[in-house]
């Protein structure tokens, strides 16, 4: 690929500050943007440098104003019809434009579908390193480098990754791991407008339409409560009782890979290593054994309730509360109690 042969490498000596990608979709800021603002502010303060945000889209003036309430020093806006919907090429060209103008030493984006596609593209264009799916970020006092922590080998170890030579140091960060920036009443920070680079308009891909897989479905990565079903619930129809309990608790429905592979529920519900990484306040695992690949996706939940008829099931080792018994009896009984406000 031409871009990989000739990346536009920044001079590390000229790079200062932290820049976040402030994600928006359909004219609304993602809560991921606030999480990045919180994480970015802490890193910028540790370095004693500025926090920048890159906001890309079309007609996003109001969102830029809103971002001024989150303690960001400079909000860099690229506003163009070409950026109305996310496409890799124009978005990465626009973000590279901001990065080349700002020359941040660190670039952060949330590990959302958009972030996981955009940030690696930018890293290639800039010949910079990227640490994906981070769960911790810190500054090394001695070198002032970013120390990006991420799980490896299915979450059995945590690796600290340092990108010594190239700038910016790029990281995608898992959802709901970083404390979000608090909204302040008084706006602050300067809005800086940048032009879309001409090459961005000639994107090879075109946006046709966006189809929501599950209209009205809860975004699991942002849900406070998740009720998940595994192979132990017995079949697709049993997801009805899982959904009833989730509804009674105001939460979303998750699933193990075994349930997804069996075709009982769509992949978008899968929690785990090859599904979604979630961190709700309450995670209810119903008929799920607790394989390591499932645990890496949910064990950061604040409270875990496991329902399993096997008292030796590994899920009980991570559970805050364990209920040993048949899901078909326990789940409907819990849903009834919660619906009745019990």
- Site stretch for ligand FAD (CB under 6 A), options 120-128, 140-148, 180-188, 227-235: 227-235
- Site stretch for ligand FAD (CB under 6 A), options 75-83, 133-141, 240-248, 269-277: 269-277
Only one of the segments 103-111, 121-129, 235-243, 281-289 lies at the binding site for ligand FAD (rule: CB under 6 A); that segment is: 281-289
Tokens representing residue 303 in the block: 């409270």
Other C-beta atoms lying within 10 Å of the C-beta of residue 145: 18
Residue closer to ligand FAD by CB (options 189, 275) is 275
- Judged by CB, which is closer to ligand FAD: 265, or 327? 327
State yes or no: residue 272 binds ligand FAD (CB under 6 A). yes
CB-nearer residue toward ligand FAD: 145 or 172: 172
The span from the CA of 50 to the CA of 73, in Å, is: 6
Q: Which two tokens stand for residue 105?
A: 């030493």
Q: Is 254 in the site for ligand FAD (CB under 6 A)?
A: no
Contacts of 120 (CB under 8 A, 6+ apart): 130, 132
Candidates 180, 309, 318, 332; binder of ligand FAD (CB under 6 A) is: 309
Number of residues that bind ligand FAD (CB under 6 A): 28
Binding of ligand FAD at residue 268 (CB under 6 A)? Answer: no
- The answer to whether the beta carbons of residues 307 and 287 sit under 8 Å apart is yes
E strands present in the chain: 18-21, 24-25, 28-29, 51-57, 74-79, 106-110, 130-134, 136-139, 146-152, 157-162, 169-173, 190-193, 225-229, 252-255, 282-286, 303-308, 321-324
Distance from CA of residue 74 to its chain's centroid?
A: 23
Residue 112 engages ligand FAD in binding (rule: CB under 6 A): no
Residues forming the site for ligand FAD (CB under 6 A): 230-232, 256-259, 270-275, 287-289, 291, 293-294, 297, 307-310, 313, 326-328
């Amino acid at each position: 690929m031409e871009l990989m042969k000739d990346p536009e490498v920044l001079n590390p000596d000229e790079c200062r500050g932290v820049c976040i990608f402030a994600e928006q979709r359909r004219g609304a800021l993602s809560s991921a943007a606030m999480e990045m603002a919180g994480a970015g502010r802490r890193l910028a303060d540790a370095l004693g440098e500025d926090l920048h945000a890159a906001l890309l889209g079309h007609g996003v003036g109001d969102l830029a104003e809103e971002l001024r309430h989150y303690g960001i020093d400079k909000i860099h806006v690229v506003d163009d019809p070409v950026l109305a919907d996310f496409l890799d090429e124009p978005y990465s060209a626009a973000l590279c434009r901001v990065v080349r103008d700002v020359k941040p030493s660190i670039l952060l984006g949330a590990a959302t579908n958009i972030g996981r596609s955009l940030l690696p593209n930018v890293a290639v264009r800039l010949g910079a390193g990227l640490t994906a799916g981070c769960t911790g970020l810190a500054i090394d006092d001695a070198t002032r480098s970013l120390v990006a922590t991420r799980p490896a080998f299915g979450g059995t170890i945590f690796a600290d990754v340092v990108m010594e030579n190239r700038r910016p140091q790029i990281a995608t960060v898992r959802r709901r791991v970083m404390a979000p920036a608090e909204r302040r009443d008084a706006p602050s920070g300067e809005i800086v407008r940048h032009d879309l680079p001409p090459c961005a308009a000639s994107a090879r891909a075109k946006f046709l339409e966006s189809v929501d897989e599950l209209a009205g479905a809860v975004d699991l990565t942002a849900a406070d409560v998740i009720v998940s079903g595994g192979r132990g619930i017995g079949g697709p129809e049993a997801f009805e009782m899982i959904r009833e309990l989730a509804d009674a608790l105001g939460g979303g429905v998750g699933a193990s890979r075994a349930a997804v592979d069996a075709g009982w529920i769509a992949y978008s519900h899968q929690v785990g290593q090859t599904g979604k990484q979630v961190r709700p306040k309450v995670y209810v695992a119903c008929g799920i054994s607790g394989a390591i690949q499932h645990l890496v996706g949910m064990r950061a939940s604040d409270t875990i309730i496991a329902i399993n008829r096997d008292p030796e099931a590994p899920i009980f080792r991570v559970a805050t509360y364990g209920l040993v018994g048949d899901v078909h009896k326990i789940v409907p009984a819990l849903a009834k109690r919660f619906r009745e406000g019990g």
